[in-house]
């Protein structure tokens, strides 16, 4: 086994998370303070692209592309959130945080979970009235805040400006007063791991996991067979030739040619570790952190019951209190899936792929380390929820 280097408090745990990590894998947790997130891909490209003092340009697709590439890069020094929390500018009650970051893993019930988070926030406004100064910046997910990668530069610039001016929605002064008033702040984005280090308030992560092979089949169906998200990842030639029979690629071709890293959980949960044993160990370490909570898509009702019972900040998940502002009723009713609406010819095509051992084994190899992470999460689930929540 290669060397796994970590801070002294985590050294023993690091080697226990799994055997077989080749080379050096530094599972060094993030610290506290304004530079806590310096190892994240977001911080790297804020610096390299000179974005800290840039004029706000809204969606930054170049930044988004670079961040996703960076997150899947196998550096041997992945992003690892603190195991047992860090000191933040103010304290919260046991089991509570102020800022919650939802790490949105595609095709794992994330879109529905976001709607339920909106309902939880809407319930808050019913009890406490609408905040006097809501500040959503660039955001399609109101009343949540967007940490979609293309919006991160706007968010991080605002965090920095508010920190320096000691005023504004994301200043510790405002957030402390907001917490005391009974409010919470919610963020959503696939690239959220590590971003608590940029928030000057007690912060925690939450996510929904899905069995990796099931997630691959679902995303392939959604993007290739059904051409959703505006033919995302299709070439111009493929779009021009579209005859409503899906893209011309089988699932293995689709992922190998277009979306190999997008398919992998390790890049989202163990950024900068790559789809490697090191990336898997980082993802496991992050899921095991006491400032992270996760549930499973295949048992989501029981998972949400745990959330409501154990996390007072999310006690009204799925209950808008009668305030339906910003809520997508259609998404809550029908979800964002394809299981019952796939055309018969496309369903037959999908079934044939699922029966092809070459395709199945090729896909399984593509998510080998994700499967390891998922099995770890399943094995540690009850232990995970029994640990006290801390802030990162």
- CA angle (384, 390, 392) in 5-degree steps: 110
pLDDT digits (tens, 9 = 90+) for 31-73: 877 778 888 999 999 999 999 988 876 789 999 999 999 999 9
In this prediction, residue 105 carries a pLDDT of 94
Q: Band the pLDDT of 392: cuts 50, 70, 90.
A: very high
Token output for 273: 């570790």
Token output for 125: 């406004």
Question: Are 76 and 158 in contact, with CB atoms under 8 Å apart?
Answer: no
- CA angle (138, 113, 325) in 5-degree steps: 55
Greatest CA separation for the chain: 60
Instruction: Report the Cα 78 to chain-centroid distance in Å.
Output: 16
pLDDT digits (tens, 9 = 90+) for 149-206: 999 999 999 999 999 999 999 999 999 999 999 999 999 999 999 999 999 999 999 9
> For the ranges 185-189, 256-260, 370-374, which has the lowest average pLDDT?
256-260
pLDDT digits (tens, 9 = 90+) for 314-359: 999 988 888 888 777 776 766 665 555 789 999 999 999 999 999 9
Question: Are 227 and 315 in contact, with CB atoms under 8 Å apart?
Answer: no
Q: Which residues pair with 26 in a beta bridge?
A: 5
- Name the one residue in this structure whose structure tokens are 């293995």: 252
Integer Cα distance of 245 and 242 in angstroms: 7
pLDDT digits (tens, 9 = 90+) for 94-150: 999 999 999 999 899 988 999 999 999 988 988 887 766 666 666 777 888 999 999
């Amino acid at each position: 086994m290669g060397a796994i280097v970590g801070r002294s408090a985590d050294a023993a745990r690091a080697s226990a998370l799994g055997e077989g990590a080749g080379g050096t894998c530094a599972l060094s947790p993030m610290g506290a303070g304004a530079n806590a997130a310096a190892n994240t891909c977001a911080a790297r490209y804020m610096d390299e692209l000179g974005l800290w003092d840039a004029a706000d340009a809204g969606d930054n697709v170049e930044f988004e592309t670079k961040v996703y590439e960076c997150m899947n890069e196998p550096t041997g020094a992945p992003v690892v959130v603190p195991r047992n929390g860090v000191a933040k500018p103010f304290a919260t009650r046991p089991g509570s945080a102020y800022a919650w970051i939802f790490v949105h893993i595609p095709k794992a019930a994330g879109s529905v979970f976001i709607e339920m988070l909106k309902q939880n926030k809407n319930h808050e406004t019913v009890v406490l009235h609408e905040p006097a100064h809501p500040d959503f910046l660039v955001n399609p997910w109101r009343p949540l805040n967007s940490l979609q990668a293309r919006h991160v530069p706007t968010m991080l610039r605002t965090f920095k400006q508010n920190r320096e001016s000691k005023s504004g929605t994301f200043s510790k002064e405002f957030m402390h007063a907001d917490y005391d008033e009974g409010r919470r702040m919610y963020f959503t984005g696939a690239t959220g791991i590590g971003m608590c280090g940029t928030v000057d308030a007690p912060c925690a992560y939450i996510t929904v996991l899905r069995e990796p092979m099931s997630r691959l089949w679902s995303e392939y169906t959604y993007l290739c067979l059904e051409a959703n998200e505006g033919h995302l990842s299709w070439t111009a030639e493929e779009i021009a030739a579209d005859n409503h029979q899906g893209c011309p690629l089988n699932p293995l071709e689709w992922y190998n040619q277009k979306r190999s890293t997008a398919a992998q959980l390790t890049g989202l949960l163990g950024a900068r570790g790559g789809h490697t044993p090191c990336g898997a160990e980082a993802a496991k370490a992050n899921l095991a952190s006491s400032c992270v909570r996760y549930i499973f898509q295949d048992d989501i009702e029981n998972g949400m019951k745990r959330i409501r019972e154990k996390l007072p900040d999310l006690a009204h998940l799925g209950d808008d209190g009668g305030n339906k502002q910003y809520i997508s009723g259609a998404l809550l009713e029908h979800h964002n899936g394809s299981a019952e609406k796939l055309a018969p010819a496309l369903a037959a095509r999908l079934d044939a792929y699922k029966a092809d051992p070459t395709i199945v084994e090729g896909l399984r190899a593509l998510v080998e380390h994700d499967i390891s992470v998922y099995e770890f999460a399943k094995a540690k689930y009850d232990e995970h929820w029994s640990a006290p929540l801390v802030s990162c």
